[in-house]
Amino acid sequence: MTTHPESSPVTPARGTALVTGASSGIGAAYARRLAAVGRDLVLVARRAERLRALAAELTEKHGVRVETLGADLSDTGDLDRVVRRAAEDDIEMLVNNAGINGYGPFAETDPALLEKVLAVNVVAVTRLARATVPGMLARGRGSVVNVASTLAFAGSLPPGPLPTRPVYGGTKGYVVTFTRTLAAELDASPVQVQVLCPGLTATEFHLTQGQEPVSGERARVHDDGGMPVEDVVTASLRALETGEVVCVPGLVDGAAVDRVTAAETGLRSLSTSTLAPRYRNSAPR
């Protein structure tokens, strides 16, 4: 069920939220929801014209201050500029939403595109979190949401109907592990950390591999459809209220995440300093 912004669960505004990938899709939905509760915003994306239009809409409708930063997070200079802004004292929420897919067979995909996927999905996420967390700890409040994907849990599944995704899936696996481990480190602190893992979502994401942003002034939706972005953001904001670290918007059985943790604990605890019998006396190659 879609929940409208006016009635959605959301923490009351405090400080400024920096949202990457805010020109459409999940990022734009976060921007609208956070503005509706009075948060000032810093919006980051490659499509500066879309950001300006969204900023004008939110300022007029909600009276919030909206700053826009046109930036390609795969570009070191652009990322440096956004990192400097993220480290300023007013940032109390970070939504690391920007991401590109680079879908395609590994042996055939342009290496430059794969480097771009790593830069946006891994390096930018890490650097922006590192820029914001120290200040949040010092001020005694703050939250970081890193957007991953359910494809982070689909490593062994072949493509069809899933996309061909070795690097993309790997980057989202990094985001899940990074966020969960950081959340454990900060467990006793006042800073909340969440990884949001949507499934197929009704955005523009599948319209391009990510070399260039989707053209046009109006946001579109890929033909595959998926969960409405408003529902994805509702799940994330509700999970922040309840303290869930791993938020999977379509997951009915929340205990499934606990079972993943239990399985990981089992793997670690059963690994000893003694070579496992199945690896002994193998035939020479």
Q: Phi-psi category of 21—alpha, beta or left, where left has phi over 0 and alpha has psi -120 to 50?
A: left
Distance CA 167, CA 279 (A): 29
Q: Is 30 a catalytic residue?
A: no
Helix (H) or strand (E) holding 134: helix 125-139
Tokens of 181: 């481990």
Catalytic residue among 30, 168, 174, 279: 168
Q: Which residues contact 50 (CB under 8 A, 6 or more apart)?
A: 23, 24, 217, 219
Question: 48-58: string of b/e by CB count within 10 Å (b at 16+)?
Answer: eebbeebbeeb
Residues belonging to the chain: 285
Residue with tokens 């494809």: 151
- CA angle at residue 185 from 180 to 189, to 5 degrees? 110
User: What is the three-class DSSP state of 7?
Assistant: helix
Catalytic positions are 168
